[in-house]
Copies of this chain bind each other. A is one copy, B any other.
Amino acid sequence: MPHEIHKAIARNAMLMKALPEQHRDTLLSRAIWKHYDRGETLFLQDEEATAIHIVLDGWIKLYRVTPSGNEAVVSVFARGESFGEAVALRNAPYPVSAEAATPCDVMHIPSNALVDLIRHDSEVGLTILSSTFNHLHSLVSQLEQLKAQTGAQRVGFFLLALADCETGQCTVKLPYDKVLIAGRLGMKPESLSRSFARLKDAGVKIEKDMARISDIQALRDYVEEEQ
């Protein structure tokens, strides 16, 4: 039953984690679960935002259509990540479009649900605000730390974040389009390809759109090596 797993993922998304149990339940009860096939559109640029989105499974890409007509990928989100908070809280129009890069499960939390919660209990606003600042600082230091690692280590770290098991072997599903992953990790497709090749020594095998990790702990050791 994937539903229970999805609930657990949603509960641990950054936005929800800050809240006490009962408030999370409130939000979950008002949330909308939805499946998207590859290429399906979540929303288009200039549409008015009415919800915050949490990726439960799969990959979402945010893109902007350039004046010259082709699309520029702004960012890519994987399982457990949320996006659209800023615009949803103001009911502003989206500055980008969103599309499923792989088959996806997404939870939509109506922005009203969150706004109601904050209006009703200003303590909730303070809590989320505080955890957001924390998240902001940890993100910055995380990005700085990632610079100190090699490409292969960054890829390994990234795979670990997506692995849903604690030990032993594990399989991670990747988007078909490797350019998306490369962009997300701040490298060129060629470099990503070479990083994958190096990760073979750490027990990672790439098969089409799946990454097989033969030993989670071995990969952890590899990522944390000599920094």
Contact = CB atoms under 8 A, between A and B. Distances in A.
A132 B132 contact: yes
Given A139-B136, A140-B139, A140-B143, A130 B186 contact: no
Nearest to A83: B137
A76 B118 CA distance: 33
Q: Main SS of chain A's interface residues?
A: helix
Interface string A115-146: 10011001001101111111111011101100
Contacts of A125: 118, 122, 125-126, 129
Contacts of A90: 126, 130
Nearest to A89: B130
* Number of identical protomers: 2
Contacts of A134: 86
A126 B89 contact: yes
Contacts of A86: 130-131, 133-134, 137
Nearest to A119: B122
A129 B186 contact: no
A42 interface: no
Interface in A64-82: 74-75
Nearest to A88: B130
9 contacts: A86-B131, A86-B137, A89-B130, A118-B125, A122-B122, A128-B129, A136-B139, A139-B139, A147-B186
- 4 closest A-B pairs by CB: A125-B125, A86-B133, A89-B130, A85-B133
Given A86-B137, A89-B133, 11 more contacts: A85-B130, A85-B133, A86-B130, A86-B131, A90-B126, A125-B125, A129-B129, A129-B132, A139-B140, A143-B143, A144-B186
Interface of A: 74-75, 85-86, 89-90, 115, 118-119, 122, 125-126, 128-137, 139-141, 143-144, 147, 186
